[in-house]
Structure formats: structure tokens, C-alpha cells
Structure 1
Amino acid sequence: MESTKQEKNSTAIDCFYLLQNQKDIDLRKFAHHLLLVENVNSDSLLKAQLFRDMSQQKLLSPVPEIFWRVDRNLQEYRERSGIDLLKLIDSMQEICNSGDVILELGSGCGYAASEIRSNDAIKSFFSLFSINDMIHFPVRSLIGEILEVDLEYKSLSEKAKSEVVDYVYKILSLEKGTTTSKQLNYDQKFLSLIQSDVNNLIPALSEINIKLSDAVGVPSEFGVIPLTSEQREYPNKIFLHDLQPSASEYIKSLSNNPENHINPDVINSNIYEYLSINPIGMLVGDFSEISKLSDNSLAFVFSIRGTTYLVDDKNTGNFAYSDLLIQILKKLQQGGIYLDDGVRENFGKRYRLPELLRVQKVIDQSHNSDTLWVIIGPGVPGDDFNQEAAIRSVAITKGSSNPSILSKNLADERYYVRSFLDVINDKEYLCTLDPQKSNYREVQEATS
């Protein structure tokens, strides 16, 4: 029986390596991989062992920064991109064939993908895969799972629980005595310990009183990028007195007697059972490995925050972001769609319009009806200079110059679709995107 379980896990892990040592991969032929991992995922013990094996093979990692999110849901995808993904995918059934492939670039812990799969009609029609350089799990929610066994914590309101977990997570992740600094100073020893074995989170929680002893606050969720700097700062703090009274009291109790709040059953359990990861359809690899997929084989490709750190660098000749979009254009089938909020170069201070011009040149040379679109909507407070009409995402429609499939599936009435060519030729609009008119000047330079 034990050998059978090991064989199942070994087979499941093989699914993650599909992109290794293969070329011209047609994902439509690998729908059985989804079922293999789903069968393991439905058994809590098998899943825990799978996650341990994945960790040992360096496939699994905790999020490396406290403000990284790998558990965004579809509602957040809507707000970030301006497109209702579930409605869009549902409407694509009219122009696609059963078994066609949806591919997400950077699915985090797979939370949004699991929401998509919860729609039975979509799950039975499409095969949903994702490419991830690493499969990350959220430490914040893991702390909540561990504390949930504590009756005192369990009696708190949901808001108080959220405040406790957020505070404790940041205390553990940052160097002792630095939690109120403007910059983030990570505790590399703690991160290394849970990277090597997530069960090390238990002793770290059991000794949290050492770090809590001189902590007066933690960074809030809202950092800022000064106009004179590229580095994000965190001047705003959350102090104990800012929390719900019950949350503040719980943290004080945790500081005095942490051992009273860590249940012995949890200490002796396998913490891998608590990981919030949905691994179905995940493929481990660099985004550039999308080149290994068959041309004209993908119905819908999307990325929310996944392509943010890809950069075009003219000095080195490395065009990571625009090259990816050009590759995706080849991989999309007729009628296929690509959606990406990575056009916002980290926090929306700059928009990658020159990069999109490079993609537009490829489209122009193909003489097809492929079209670049820009989804515009309300700006993100603290990020976008234009709060009424910021660029939220970019889309490509393969073989179509009709934006109706996008405009019919917008998040709400505040968002609208414009062609990319229309946007870059609108000087007045480009000048509203930042106070220095840098985005406009970059477009002028790229087109001169």
C-alpha cells in the first residue's frame, strides 16, 4: 500500500516536469495529467507527502516577501485587469472546442485556478494549466491554520483573526527590532528554515515572544514609491493599539506565553497538510519555455502579476517582456486571447508602451487581423497618477480586430477597451499618465 502511494506521488511529480526535455508540446494531449494530480490532491495524506517531496526537490517555496500575494482570487483578478475572467472564459466556449487549453502564467498557489475549476461547465470543457518558475505558498494563511486549533484564537472575530495573523507573520518575517523601519529588513534565518522544511514554522511560532518583546508595530499594506526614487518605502505602520482590542490582547498573551497557544496536536502533526496550494495543472518552468508548446494550440493565456518582473533591456539586448508576448502570439490559436496586467511596470509608475510597440511591429509584419488592446479603468490609489483612467491591462486577440469579446466581459462600467494604436497616438491621454510626461516621451522616442 505504501509503495502504491509513493508511485502515485512520483507520477504526480512527473506532471510538474512536463516542460523539461520536450519540444512541440500540445497540452491538449495531456489532459490526463490533470486527473493524476487531482486524484492525489483529493487525499490529504497523499497531498501532504506530495508537498514534502516537492519541497525536497526545490519545487515548493514560501513567498519571499511579506507583501507578495500568491493567493489572489478571481475578484482581485477582475479589479486588477478590468476583465471578468470567469465570464470571458464562459463566453469563449462558443468559439472554442472541447479540450482546448487555458494557460495561466504565474498562478501562485493556484487559488484563482481552483475557483475557475469550481465551475463545472468550464472544467469539463477546457483543460487548465499554468507555468510557474516556483510553486509558492502563503505563510500568512498557514499561520492562521496553525492557530485555528487554539480555542482562544478560534473565539476571535474574523477581522481580529486576520489582524493577529498579519501582525504575527510580519513579526516572524522581519529582523528583530526593525519592524518599524522605512525599509523592509528580512530575517533570512527564518525564511531559510521554512524554505528547507515548513514544519520549522512551529518552533518559530513557539519562540515568537523573543521577537514580540521589543516590537511596537509592523509595516502597513500601503507602501509608497517617492517620485525621486525607484525603491518602495513603508512609512505607515500598524501598532498594537490600532488593532481590534481582542486581537491586541491575543498578541500580548502570545508574547507572554506562546506555548499556551500552540496545540500539542499541531506540534506533532505534519504541517504540509495545512498548505494552501492547489497544484492541479501546474508546470514548473521559466515563462520563456512557452516556446516549447505547439504553435496555434492555446485558446486563452492570462497573467495577473505574473509578468511584472520581466524587463526589456535595450542595453543588453534582452527583451524578456516583449519577446514573451511575441511567443504567446505564435502559440494562440485562431480566436485565442491573451490578457496581461504586466503592462503596468510594478505598481503602475510606468507603463510598458515601448515594449508593446515592439509587439505591434511583429503584428504589422504578419498582415493578420491580430490586434493589441488596452483595458483602461480607475487607477490604484498610491500607484497610478491618473486616478480616473489608468492603464490596467493589455490584451491580444488572435485573428480578430473586434473588441466585443473583451468589452462584453469587462469587470464593470468603469472600465473600457481602446486599441493600442489609438492609445499611443493620443498625446493628450499619454500626458495624463504621469506628472513628468515620461510615458509620452518614451512613446515619442520609440516611434521616432
Structure 2
Amino acid sequence: MSDVSNFDEIYGFLNTKFENEKEYLQAVHEVLEDIIPIYNANSAYKQGDVVRRLCLPERVIYFTVSWVSSEGNVEVNQGWRVQHNGAMGPYKGGLRFHPTVNLSVLKFLAFEQCFKNALTGLPMGGGKGGSDFNPKGRSDRDIMLFCQAFMRELQRHIGANTDIPAGDINVGAREIGYMYGEYRRLNNKFEGVLTGKGLEFGGSYVRTEATGFGLIYFTESVCKANDTDLNNKRVVVSGAGNVALHAAQKAIQKGARVVTLSNSRGLLFCDEGFSEADIAWAIKQHTTSDNILVALEKRGAGVWFEKKTPWHIKCDIALPCATQNELHEADAKELLKNGCTMVLEGANMPCSIEAQEAFISKNIAYVPGKASNAGGVALSGLEMSQNAMFSQRSAHILDEELQSIMQSIHERCLEEAKLLANRNGYINYMKGANIAAFRRLADAIVAQGV
């Protein structure tokens, strides 16, 4: 069979079964285009039908979360855990609490997580979970009550050597703490069943900063591969949460000029670049502020523009760090017109397929989130190892390990991409990341049999 017919057969099979799951199908389509030629060239992969097995989740757990709010009202939410693939280790991936959470979003995130975890080189499978619960405007007590009810359902499906969830959007150290407390009460076990915990009960230094810092460490490697560095580079960042703020902080420390932050309501623009003090203040305040960007403007840091995004701003490097499909084809063309030469994803799949194609067609460095934002799960893996040894390593050592892991991921992507480089020597990081991760996953699946 040809590459095209294999692609059409497998994608058609998935499209027929899951035609309403657009985010999941988008993630699968993006990866399939790159890995089908590798699949076709390996008889063991084809004999084991590895691609189809890798695309389908091993297990999808759905549950209803019924709970009583602090006002005495019964509320009902939906909960999921997608245990996508465990060939390389226990399922690992975050929990997201947001009204937009649905099965399609979680399947796409779990699928991506498998590739991301494989790139780290650590023994972790891929999973994702969450609920359509909206914590915005809720009291601390209501959030605690929901987290406890959510864990009462989830706890029977996870364990330190089975499935180790972490945080994601709207699930930070506070929520992890509430869930961990409930797990411990129900199971009478103090074990590394969640990552992102507080330092007082098994958490790790650098975990909070890891995704944003790791994104900048990867950006440094891309700059070096292109015979340049971050110093004086003009950087636009989308988002105003944990990843965006820590990425901005580390970029400024490396000498870059970060000129934007954004959220769903608008854009904060600072032409001379935010100061490290501005970002440090925002990191401390962003979880309690209704709109940290407006608060920053009031401190004299930039100008606020309602309903604007960063993609029309002149820059050297773009770091989309907000959410999936936030950067579209028109945005990509605007970035290219304004001189952008590198795009690295801090969020999961923030660039649409058309935006990705626009970047790659112009031969600029475009790095998918499965490679560039893997720092968070890498530190989660290091937290797991600390929990297993009942130890806690210093922030300095963990930051060095994070830098080393991100450099190793870059090398894996670069090695595969160089094999596929076009006549101009263009390095396609998307293909490099997808193929490097696929080889590791496929080899693990084949080695364990059908």
C-alpha cells in the first residue's frame, strides 16, 4: 500500500468513528502525515498495526461528579480521565477544570501527551483528564468541595505506578493539594499519586516554573542551531497564566525584550519591553487578580488594548502560550509580514494546521508544543522519582536537569529533522518531533506484543 492510501485508510477509520471530535482529529491528522512513511518502512510496525493502536486511547473513564456547594446546593459536573497509552510507563498528564472541557479536547491532549512524554526520555505513558467545572468566581471552600468530590470518583483509577495526574488549566497547587488530601484519606496511603504538590508534602522545586522556563531553554537551543542567541530579540508572548509569565520572566533574564502578554479579553503591549520586576509582581498576583494585565497597566507597565491579540506586533520570536487553536492562518501571515523568524508553542496545539503550514512554507523555525513545552511534564517525572525515593532535590540541581532534558529533546528533534531536510537545509521541527517520539513509542509497543 502507498503512503497516501495508508493515511487515508487510518484517518478515514478514525474520522468515521469520531467525526464530531474535531480537536482530537486535528491532533491525529497533524501527526499521521509525518509518521505514515516511517510506519510503512518498518514491517514490524505494520504487522503490529502500531499506528492505529497508538491513535486510539487504551481506556476512557467517564464519571459524574455530584457535590454539595457551601450554600447547600446540589451541583452536577462531568469528569473524565483518558488513559491513552501506557507502553512507556504509567499514564502521565494533567487535569483541566474549565467549562470548555469535553472528550474531544481531552483525547487530543492525551494523544499529544504520549508524544511529549516520549521525547523527554523518561519512563512515562500519556494521559489527560478533567472536568467541565468552572472555578471562576467560586469561593475557596467551593473549589475544595469540588476537588474532593472529583477525587472520590477519580481515585479508584489512579496510583503511583498506574496513573499519576498533574495540574493544567485552573488546576494549580491549591487544587492538587485538596485532591491529594482526599486521596490520602480514602486510601490511607502517602504516595506519589499526583505531581505539582506543595513542597511540604512531596512536591518539587521548579515544577511551577518548568513549562515556561523549559520553553525558553528550548528557544535558546533553536537560536544556537541558527547561529544566534536570545539577547535583544523582540518576543511576543500570548497568555497571562503560569506558562506565559514564567516564559516571559526567563526570556527577560536571558536578555530578550518581551513586548506583549494577553488573555481572552485583550492585549497588554509594552514597546520597550516589560521589566523583570513587572513580571515577578504579576507571577505573585495573577491567581488572585481578575485581570492581571489591566492591573499591570495601572502599575505603568504597558498599554491595554481590549479584544486584541499579539500577532500583529513586530517581533523576532512568537511564543503562543494561551490555549489550543489561538493562532490562525491570518495571524501567521501577519507575523511573517512583520519579520518573525521563530515560533515556539508554549501551549498545546495553539497554532491551527493552516498557521503551521504558513510558517513551514516560509522556512521559519516552527516548534510544536510536544517538544517546546515538555518542561512541565519533565519536572513531573523528576518529582515522581523524588517521591519514589522519599527525597527532595535542590532548585539549582533540578533547573540544571530541566535544561539538560530540553537540550536532549532539541537534539532528538534535530537529528530526525536533519535526515528530512530539504534542498535549502530547512529544519522541520514538527516532523522531527513527531518522528522521534513515534519511533520510541512504536518500538515500546512492538516489544510488548499484541
More contact order relative to length (CA 8 Å, sep ≥ 6): 1
- TM-score of the superposition, structure 2-length normalised? 0.25
Greater gyration radius = 1
- TM-score of the superposition, structure 1-length normalised? 0.25
Query: Which structure carries more helix by proportion?
Result: 2
